[in-house]
């Protein structure tokens, strides 16, 4: 306790008293999350204003042996929110004051951002500047941080969907308090003309070390932006049966391998599409039953949707130029004999499909957050495996996931986000966190999903904080040792987020 108070006294002199918060209500708020585990309250929350202040915090943490937990905006709902990896760590809230758009370059189409810049903030600024550029939005919280999402390898749905891949040049405070820049920003000069346009410079490319790691604190990032096209038009197909997933995957793959369709395909099952606007009509507290097929069919009829909804988008010089492209993809899907086509104009009036349109158009949306109320109690976590774009393999994993959900009395809510060779599965767990039994079953369901998918060679792209150790245990021992060695080199006292992503110093708890 003495160490933490001495640390906070030092930080107060560096930041100012008002930017060091230990009020009980603040600690409770920053310890909350939607996962099955207990809340993890920090011992304090810090609000730095600059990279220099972050350096001061890190150096003080090394001096006094205090564990930090940096966040951007803390809106990764279902993955851990703002809660630290371990109770008692000091949250460093980068997003509250470090929220500046430092540059927007309309010639080479990038923005330089601090961690507090949200998807909505950047979208609003781009609109103010004439809407020439387009942000790649998620379908999650509009106030989610772009930098934090990229560093956690989050993604969107349009052509610039790979958010970490679209970063170029970052500034990082290492765990030892040193500051580095990556790419051409690593030149020892202040004239950094190529920093955000050239990913690679002389020597090793270090950027990837800071994605899903706890080796440093990212304080500035260049993000590539897409020129906004004059026109865009979505297309949508509804399939009636659960078993249609195999055929859907086979239909999507050639459209993406040729890059004929520039967006990703959103392949949402019925509950993923409808849960944002519905409540489980059969839910009874204490029940161990998943929602029935009868109830699902009734909801499909109510919304005019099916077991699966497939959405994509074309971009072009005009609506007339896009129409032949839509006609081609429509012909391709309708040859299956099962696909029902829904056009762009009709889809704008269907909430589930409007979410898809917004997400592929660079419009941040809070629509999907409604699914957290599918059951009361706001329990939510995300299981994020993937599958090769092979219909039989996707179908096998879908049956496996569906059976595990049913075993634990969970409602099967899933969307597959499909590219050319791979589809990321967004498996959503929604439960009543206030019901102890349901909370326990949600935890058991996630753990069984992890172990059973891992047995089949399927890992995850991201993981909720409660399960970082579980997923790291699935990794080969040599990789775990390599992560520990890098941690030792860049953060020798282990002050940055010990335990996050399952990474800690050798011998640490």
Nearest residue to 92 (alpha-carbon basis) of 164, 44, 130 = 44
Mean pLDDT of 432-458: 97
Give the pLDDT score at 228: 97
Confidence of residue 508 (pLDDT cuts 50, 70, 90): confident
Of residues 117 and 507, more confidently modeled: 117
In contact, 242 and 307? CB cutoff 8 Å = yes
* pLDDT value of residue 103: 97
| Mean pLDDT confidence for 182-191 | 91
Q: For the chain, give the longest Cα–Cα distance.
A: 71
Buried b (16+ CB within 10 A) or exposed e, 430-457: bbbbebeebbebbbebbbbbbebbbeee
**What's the mean pLDDT in 439-444?**
97
pLDDT tens digits, 363-416: 999 989 999 999 999 999 999 999 999 999 999 999 999 999 999 999 999 999
Q: What pTM does this model have?
A: 0.95
pLDDT at 204: 92
pLDDT of 444 above 90:
yes
pLDDT at 139: 84
- Euclidean distance between the first and the last CA atom of the chain, given in angstroms as a whole number: 19
Mean pLDDT of 137-154: 94
pLDDT bracket for residue 340 (50, 70, 90): very high
Six token digits for residue 132: 């020439």
Work out the angle between the directed axes of helices 51-64 and 2-15 (0-180°, nearest 10).
Answer: 160
pLDDT bin (cut points 50, 70, 90) of residue 193 is: very high
Decide if 85 contacts 106 (C-beta within 8 A).
no
Give the model's pLDDT for residue 173. 98
Residue 320 has a pLDDT of 97
pLDDT tens digits, residue range 30-80? 999 999 999 999 999 999 999 999 999 999 999 999 999 999 999 999 999
pLDDT, mean of residues 476-492: 96
What's residue 1's pLDDT?
A: 58
CA 329 to chain centroid: 29
Distances (CA, A) of 393 to 239, 249, 266: 19, 10, 18
Mean pLDDT taken over the chain: 96
What pLDDT, on a 0 to 100 scale, did the predictor assign at position 143?
A: 94
Q: Looking at residue 271, what is its pLDDT? A: 98
Q: Enumerate the β-bridge partners of residue 381.
A: 429
- What pLDDT score does 506 carry? 85
Instruction: Check pLDDT > 70 for residue 2.
Output: no
Question: Lowest mean pLDDT: which of 98-102, 107-111, 186-190?
Answer: 186-190
- Residue pair 491/174 in contact (Cβ under 8 Å)? The answer is yes
pLDDT for 494 equals 97
Q: What is the strand order of the sheet 110-113 is part of?
A: 101-105, 110-113, 216-224, 167-174, 179-181
214-250 pLDDT, tens digit each: 999 999 999 999 999 999 999 999 999 999 999 999 9
pLDDT at 190: 84
**pLDDT (tens digit per residue) in 146-176:** 999 999 999 999 999 999 999 999 999 999 9
List phi, psi (to 5°) of 282. -110, 5
Return the pLDDT at 287.
85
Is a pLDDT exceeding 90 seen at residue 5? yes
Q: What is the pLDDT of residues 285-326, one digit of tens each?
A: 888 999 999 999 999 999 999 999 999 999 999 999 999 999
Q: What is the DSSP string of 106-162?
A: TTTTEEEE-TT-BHHHHHHHHHHTTS-EE----SS-TTSBHHHHHHTT-B-SSTT-B
């Amino acid at each position: 306790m003495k160490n933490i108070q001495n640390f906070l006294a030092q930080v107060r002199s560096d930041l100012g008293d008002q930017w060091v918060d230990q009020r009980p209500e603040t600690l409770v708020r920053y310890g909350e999350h939607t996962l099955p585990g207990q809340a993890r309250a920090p011992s304090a929350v810090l609000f730095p204003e600059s990279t220099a202040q972050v350096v001061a915090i890190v150096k003080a943490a090394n001096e006094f042996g205090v564990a930090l937990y940096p966040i951007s905006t803390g809106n990764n709902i279902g993955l851990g929110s703002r809660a630290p990896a371990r109770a008692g760590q000091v949250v460093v809230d980068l997003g509250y004051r470090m929220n500046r758009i430092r540059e927007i370059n309309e010639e080479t189409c990038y923005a330089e951002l601090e961690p507090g810049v949200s998807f909505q903030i950047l979208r609003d600024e781009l609109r103010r500047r004439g809407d020439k550029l387009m942000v790649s939005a998620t379908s999650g919280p509009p106030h989610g941080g772009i930098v934090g999402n990229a560093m956690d390898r989050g993604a969107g749905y349009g052509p610039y969907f790979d958010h970490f891949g679209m970063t170029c040049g970052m500034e990082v405070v290492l765990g030892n308090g040193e500051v580095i820049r990556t790419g051409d920003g690593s030149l020892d000069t202040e004239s950094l003309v190529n920093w955000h346009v050239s990913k690679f410079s002389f020597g090793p490319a270090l950027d990837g070390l800071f994605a899903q790691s706890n080796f440093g604190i990212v304080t500035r990032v260049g993000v590539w932006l897409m020129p906004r096209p004059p026109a865009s038009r979505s297309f949508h197909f509804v399939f009636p049966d659960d078993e249609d997933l195999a055929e859907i995957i086979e239909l999507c793959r050639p459209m993406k391998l040729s890059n004929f369709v520039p967006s990703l395909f959103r392949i949402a099952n019925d509950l993923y599409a409808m849960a944002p606007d519905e409540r489980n009509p059969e839910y009874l507290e204490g029940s161990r039953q998943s929602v029935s097929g009868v109830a699902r069919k009734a909801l499909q009829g109510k919304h005019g949707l099916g077991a699966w909804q497939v959405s994509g988008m074309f971009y072009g010089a005009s609506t007339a130029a896009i129409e032949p492209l839509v006609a081609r993809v429509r012909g391709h899907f309708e040859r299956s004999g099962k696909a029902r086509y829904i056009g762009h104009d009709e889809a704008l009036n269907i909430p589930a499909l409007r979410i898809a349109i917004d997400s592929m158009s660079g419009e941040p949306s809070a629509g999907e957050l409604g699914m957290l109320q599918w059951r009361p109690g706001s329990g939510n976590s995300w299981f994020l495996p993937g599958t090769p774009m092979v219909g039989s393999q996707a179908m096998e994993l879908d049956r496996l996931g569906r059976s595990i959900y049913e075993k634990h009395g969970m409602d099967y809510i899933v969307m597959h986000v499909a590219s050319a060779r791979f589809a990321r599965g967004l498996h959503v767990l929604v439960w009543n966190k206030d019901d102890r039994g349901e909370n326990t079953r949600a935890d058991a369901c996630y753990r069984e999903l992890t172990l059973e998918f891992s047995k089949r060679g399927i890992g995850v792209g991201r993981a909720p904080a409660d399960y970082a150790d579980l997923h790291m245990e699935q990794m080969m021992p040599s990789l775990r040792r390599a992560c520990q060695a890098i941690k030792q080199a860049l953060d020798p006292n282990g002050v940055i987020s010990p335990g996050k992503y399952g990474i800690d110093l050798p011998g640490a708890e």
